[in-house]
Structure 1
Amino acid sequence: MRCPYCGSLDTQVKDSRPAEDSASIRRRRVCPDCGGRFTTFERVQLRELHVMKKSGRRVPFDRDKLQRSVQIALRKRPVEPERIERLVSGIVRQLESMGEADVTSDQIGELVMEALKGVDHVAYVRFASVYRDFGDMQDFGAFIGELSREPSEGAV
């Protein structure tokens, strides 16, 4: 693992333990060259996923990008960080279990929408406004109208 401080390729693991979600391993590392300490996380990856963008580009799937998007939608909402981690891990597992190495950005967006709908309606609307590219207030109104007609799923 490359040192984030000096770039050395020779770092040593000082401590390993399961992360809070028990789906990853947390490793404390130290660089013998500069003495820098940092943490890494190791997760199971069932297959190498690629995302087919709407533009036709094919890019490697980035779990961190997915997590950032979900965190932005849930910013300042009463949702525990562990629940966010479980939500993201669940989406990644669903993508990996589809059996395809290539997934579309639309498939990812729909899985995120479905997951957020069950967690927090405000975050669901926030994410939908970007994902579905709401252009004006009528788009928000129509979407919220659809949401209010559906039976409640226990979201905040």
Structure 2
Amino acid sequence: MKDSRPAEDGAAIRRRRICPDCSGRFTTFERVQLRELHVLKKSGKRVPFVRDKLARSVEIALRKRPVDPQRVERMISGIVRRLEQMGEPEVRSEAIGAMVMEALRGLDDVAYVRFASVYRDFAEASDFESVIGELARSHTAIAMETVKPAPASKEDDPHDD
């Protein structure tokens, strides 16, 4: 091993290694797994939670989007941490999907709509319109919260003579 250091805000260890046979260099990441999680699917089937499957589904939603890969990795690590901190050995697939939707909403609108189309099983164009409308309303609400009128000065008060 050539080098070892914390990564992903301390949630993983990044190691630079050298192959003893060919002297090629490569990087590995080691993550602490707090517990063995299982996903309860809509069908009732119980399957092991696979972090890479979560990452792949997020990457598909983010394909060709201008989002920093490190932000995506932090988002995925945050979701996994939340799942582990729930303390439950089983997590419903709907709960995982909701966490991804929440995280994508703050990361990229297009990825949010793409993920929603699969997660909510869109059947027609009006399903897309509905989600886009939700996003527009939420952006409007956020914009209105951040724009607050400046307090009136004494000079502007017509009752002050």
Quickly name the TM-score band, shorter chain normalised: 0.7 to 0.9
1:41 to 12, 25, 29: 29
* Distance in 1 between residues matched to 2:79 and 2:17, nearest whole Å: 29
Runs of 4+ in 1 over 3 A off after TM superposition: 28-39, 151-154
Larger radius of gyration: 2
Compare the two structures and name the one with the higher helix fraction: 2
> Percent identity over the alignment?
72
Q: Per the alignment, in what secondary structure is the counterpart of residue 126 of structure 1?
A: helix
CA offsets 1:108-151 (integer angstroms, 9 cap, x no match): 00000000001111110010001111111111112212222224
Q: What amino acid does structure 1 have at the position aligned with 2:137? A: R
Report whether the alignment pairs 1:89 with 2:73: no
Match of 2:59 in 1: 71
Q: What amino acid does structure 2 have at the position aligned with 1:118? A: G
* Distance in 1 between residues matched to 2:128 and 2:31, nearest whole Å: 37
Cα contact 2:12–2:29 (8 A) shared by 1:
yes
Comparing 66-75 and 112-121, the one that deviates more: 66-75
Question: How big is the shift at 1:57?
Answer: 1.4
Comparing 26-35 and 58-67, the one that deviates more: 26-35
Alpha-carbon RMSD across the aligned residues, in angstroms, is 2.1
Match of 1:146 in 2: 134
Q: Per the alignment, in what secondary structure is the counterpart of residue 93 of structure 1?
A: helix
* Distance in 2 between residues matched to 1:27 and 1:117, nearest whole Å: 32
Cα contact 1:21–1:85 (8 A) shared by 2:
no
* Distance in 2 between residues matched to 1:16 and 1:92, nearest whole Å: 23
* Structure 2: gaps spanning 5 or more residues: 144-161
Match of 1:132 in 2: 120
Question: How big is the shift at 1:22?
Answer: 3.6
Question: How big is the shift at 1:27?
Answer: 2.3
* Structure 1: gaps spanning 5 or more residues: 1-12
Question: How big is the shift at 1:64?
Answer: 0.9
Comparing 55-64 and 23-32, the one that deviates more: 23-32
Using the size of structure 2 for normalisation, the TM-score is 0.77
Aligned residue pairs: how many?
Answer: 142
Match of 1:120 in 2: 108
Q: Give the 3 Å change call, closer, same or farther, for CA 30–138 of structure 1 in structure 2.
A: same
Cα contact 1:73–1:126 (8 A) shared by 2:
yes
Q: Per the alignment, in what secondary structure is the counterpart of residue 101 of structure 2?
A: helix
* Distance in 2 between residues matched to 1:66 and 1:116, nearest whole Å: 13
Question: How big is the shift at 1:31?
Answer: 5.6
CA offsets 1:68-110 (integer angstroms, 9 cap, x no match): 1111111221211111011111111111111101001100000
Q: Per the alignment, in what secondary structure is the counterpart of residue 138 of structure 1?
A: helix
